[in-house]
C-alpha cells in the first residue's frame, strides 16, 4: 500500500468505509496515524473491525437515516475522544458526534455530498480540513520513487480515456497503476518503481476533496450538465473541473477538449495565464481513421483517443507504441462492449449509458441499430439522442420508462414494447439482418429491474449467449 511518514502521529476521521475508505484506514494506520472510522452501514463497520489485528474501541455510535440528514436532526456534539489506548490505532465512532478539535483532517468518501451533509460544517467549526483519498495520495508522492501522474476528468468518457492511457503506458513497457474513480483504491496499491505512471480518473467530487495534486498531465474531456444536485448551478460544477489545472505547476501539460463552451473557456484561461506552450486542445469533429481500433468506434471515441494520444505524447511515449496501444485496446465492460457477432449481427453492451447524453455516441457509432432502451429514467426527454435517430432500424423499450419512451419515439422510428431485457434481445436478434447491430444503450438507470448497470450488462451478455 501507499503510505507517508507525514501521517505518523496525526489524527484522522474517516467517513465512509467502502473500498476507498477501507484502504484509507489501512494506509493511515500503517503509517502510524490514529484513526476514527465510521460508516452508517453496520456491516461496513464490522468489516473494518474484522480487518484489524489489534484491539478496537467504539464510541459515539448511532446511525442516522436520510430523513434525519434532511431535517438536520443530529444530537448535540458532546463527546471528546481521548487518544486511543496504547497498542490501538483505530476507534469506530461517528465523527458527527465527537469533538474534532485537534484532528488533522476528515477524510470522506466522494459519495458524501459536501453541499448537504453536516460533516462539512462540523469539521469547519473545529478548523479541520475535509479531504479525500486522492489528497492523501498527493501528500504521499514525495516519498514515492520518481514517477508521473496523469489525471483525467470530464463529464463523459473519463473511464475509457483513463483505461486507454493506462493500456498505452503498459504497451510501451512503462509501469503503470490505474486508480481514482476506476479500478482499485490508489492507496491500497503497491507503489510503482522508478519511472512509473499513475493514471487517475477523477470525478468532480474527488477534485473537490483534493488540494495539492499536481498532475504532470491533466486532461479535461468535456463538461455538460451533470450532478447539479451537488453544486450551486452549472458554473460551480464547471469550476470544480477547472481546479484540476489550478493545482498544476505551470510547466506541466494540459490536454483539453474544446467542444463545449465551459471547457473552451478553461483552455482560454490557461492560454491567457501563459500556459499555451504546454496546452493541447482537442477540437470536436476531428476526422480520424478508426478502422484499426475496434474498441474505439464513434466520434466520441475519436475524441477520447485524441486526448489519450496527446497525454501519452506529453509523457514522452513514441508514436509507434501509441499506435500499438490503440490497436490492441479492448475497451471497458459495459461501455460499447462488443459481446458477440451472431449470423453477421453485432451485439454491443453499453449498459453504462445511464442518461440520454451518454447514449447518443453509441447510436452514432453504428450505421444500422436495433436499439434497446429503458429502465429508471433520469429525464422524460430523449432529445439528446436525436443525432443518432437516423441510424435506428427499430427501438425496443424495457423497464419502468418503457411505455413513456415508446410514446416519445413512435412516429420517429418503429418501436416495440418489449418490457424485459431478455425479451428485447430475443426479438431484436430475430429481426436484425447481417451487418446490423443490436445495441443495449438504455439512457436510464438500472435500479427498476437490476441491482446496477453491471448486473444489467451481464444480463444482456447472458441473453445473447442463450441465443441459438
Nearest to 249 by CA among 296, 225, 203, 216: 216
Tell me which of 158, 241, 352, 370 is the catalytic residue.
158
C-alpha cell at 156: 463523459
Distance CA 203, CA 184 (A): 15
CA atoms within 13 A on the CB side of 454: 2
Q: Is 181 a catalytic residue?
A: yes
CA-angle at 290, arms to 288 and 291, nearest 5°:
135
Q: Judge whether 190 and 241 are in contact, CB under 8 Å.
A: no
CA-angle at 173, arms to 170 and 177, nearest 5°:
40
Q: Judge whether 29 and 35 are in contact, CB under 8 Å.
A: yes
Tell me which of 227, 278, 342, 378 is the catalytic residue.
227
Q: Give CA 93 to chain center in angstroms.
A: 28
* Phi-psi map region of 390: left, alpha, beta (phi>0 left; psi -120 to 50 alpha): alpha
Tell me which of 148, 156, 181, 391 is the catalytic residue.
181
Residue position matching grid coordinates 478496537: 56
Q: Give CA 240 to chain center in angstroms.
A: 15
Contacts of 82 (CB under 8 A, 6+ apart): none
Catalytic positions: 158, 181, 227
Amino acid at each position: 500500500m501507499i503510505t507517508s511518514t507525514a501521517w505518523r502521529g496525526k489524527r484522522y476521521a474517516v467517513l465512509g468505509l467502502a473500498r476507498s475508505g477501507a484502504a484509507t484506514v489501512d494506509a493511515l494506520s500503517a503509517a502510524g496515524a490514529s484513526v476514527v472510522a465510521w460508516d452508517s452501514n453496520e456491516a461496513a463497520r464490522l468489516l473494518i473491525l474484522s480487518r484489524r489485528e489489534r484491539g478496537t474501541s467504539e464510541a459515539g455510535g448511532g446511525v442516522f437515516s436520510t430523513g434525519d440528514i434532511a431535517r438536520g436532526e443530529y444530537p448535540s456534539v458532546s463527546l471528546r475522544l481521548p487518544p486511543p489506548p496504547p497498542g490501538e490505532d483505530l476507534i469506530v465512532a461517528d465523527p458527527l458526534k465527537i469533538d474534532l478539535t485537534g484532528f488533522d483532517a476528515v477524510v470522506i468518501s466522494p459519495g458524501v455530498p459536501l453541499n448537504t451533509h453536516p460533516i462539512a460544517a462540523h469539521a469547519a467549526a473545529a478548523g479541520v480540513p475535509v479531504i479525500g483519498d486522492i489528497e492523501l495520495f498527493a501528500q504521499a508522492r514525495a516519498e514515492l520513487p520518481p514517477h508521473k501522474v496523469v489525471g483525467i476528468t470530464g463529464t463523459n468518457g473519463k473511464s475509457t480515456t483513463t483505461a486507454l492511457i493506462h493500456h498505452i503506458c503498459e504497451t510501451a513497457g512503462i509501469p503503470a497503476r490505474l486508480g481514482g474513480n476506476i479500478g482499485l483504491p490508489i492507496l491500497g496499491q503497491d507503489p510503482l518503481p522508478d519511472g512509473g505512471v499513475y493514471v487517475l480518473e477523477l470525478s468532480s467530487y474527488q477534485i473537490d476533496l483534493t488540494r495539492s495534486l499536481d498532475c504532470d498531465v491533466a486532461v479535461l474531456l468535456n463538461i455538460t450538465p451533470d450532478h447539479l444536485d451537488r453544486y450551486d448551478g452549472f458554473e460551480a460544477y464547471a469550476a470544480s473541473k477547472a481546479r484540476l489545472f489550478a493545482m498544476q505547476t505551470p510547466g506541466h501539460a494540459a490536454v483539453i477538449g474544446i467542444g463545449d463552451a465551459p471547457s473552451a473557456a478553461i483552455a482560454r484561461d490557461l492560454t491567457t495565464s501563459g500556459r499555451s506552450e504546454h496546452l493541447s486542445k482537442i477540437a470536436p469533429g476531428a476526422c480520424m481513421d478508426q478502422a484499426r481500433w475496434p474498441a474505439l468506434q464513434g466520434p466520441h471515441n475519436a475524441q477520447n483517443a485524441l486526448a489519450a494520444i496527446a497525454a501519452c505524447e506529453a509523457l514522452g511515449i513514441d508514436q509507434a507504441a501509441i499506435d500499438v496501444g490503440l490497436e490492441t485496446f479492448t475497451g471497458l465492460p459495459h461501455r460499447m462492449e462488443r459481446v458477440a457477432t451472431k449470423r453477421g449481427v453485432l451485439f454491443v453492451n453499453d449498459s453504462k449509458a445511464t442518461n440520454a447524453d451518454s447514449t447518443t455516441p453509441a447510436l452514432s457509432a453504428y450505421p444500422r441499430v436495433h436499439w434497446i432502451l429503458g429502465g429508471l429514467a433520469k429525464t422524460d426527454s430523449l432529445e439528446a439522442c436525436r443525432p443518432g435517430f437516423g441510424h435506428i432500424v427499430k427501438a425496443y423499450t424495457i423497464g419502468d420508462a418503457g411505455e413513456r419512451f415508446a410514446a416519445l419515439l413512435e412516429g420517429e422510428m418503429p418501436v416495440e414494447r418489449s418490457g424485459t431485457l431478455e425479451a428485447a434481445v430475443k426479438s431484436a436478434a430475430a429481426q436484425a439482418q447481417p451487418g446490423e447491430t443490436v445495441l443495449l444503450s438504455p439512457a436510464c438507470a438500472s435500479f427498476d429491474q437490476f441491482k446496477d448497470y453491471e448486473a444489467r450488462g451481464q444480463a444482456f451478455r447472458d441473453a445473447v449467449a442463450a441465443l441459438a
